[in-house]
Structure 1
């Protein structure tokens, strides 16, 4: 899995009500905490929402390699966006 760094953009799972109906929002990595034994990372994010509340902070969230792994997680989760083709 990629190593996160400050300023990288990831995607985070959010409640659709807080994000104009979409359950995925972009987020900027604002802190890299640590790598877990399973290879995932713990990061801090600024989430950019499509709503009147334009952003929110998430202090610690697990970062997964892809959306499928993030959705299998119980709790808040972020993942790397798919590569553009």
Structure 2
């Protein structure tokens, strides 16, 4: 998995009610925490929402390599966006 760093963009799972009906929003990594034994990381992010509240700060978000794995996590989760082709 990629190593997170400040300023990197990830996709974060959010409540669709706060994001114009979508359950995923882009987010910027604002703090990198620790790496876990399974290769995931803990990060803090600033999510850019598609709603009247334009940003939301999320802390202690688990960062996964892909969306499928992130959706199995029981807590705040983010994942790397797929590579553009």
Q: TM-score range by the shorter chain?
A: over 0.9
- SS at the partner of 1:68? helix
- SS at the partner of 1:84? coil
State the TM-score, normalizing by the size of structure 2.
0.98
Structure 1 stretches lacking a partner, 5+ long: none
Tell me how far 1:42 sits from its aligned partner.
Answer: 0.3
Give the count of matched residue pairs. 85
| Counterpart for residue 16 of structure 1 | 16
State the TM-score, normalizing by the size of structure 1.
0.98
> Where do 1:1-85 residues align within 5 Å?
1-85=1-85
- SS at the partner of 2:71? helix
Structure 2 stretches lacking a partner, 5+ long: none
Q: Please list the CA deviations of residues 36-67 of structure 1 after superposition, one character each: whole Å capped at 9, or x if unmatched.
A: 11110000100100000000111210000000
Q: Please list the CA deviations of residues 63-83 of structure 1 after superposition, one character each: whole Å capped at 9, or x if unmatched.
A: 000000000111110000000
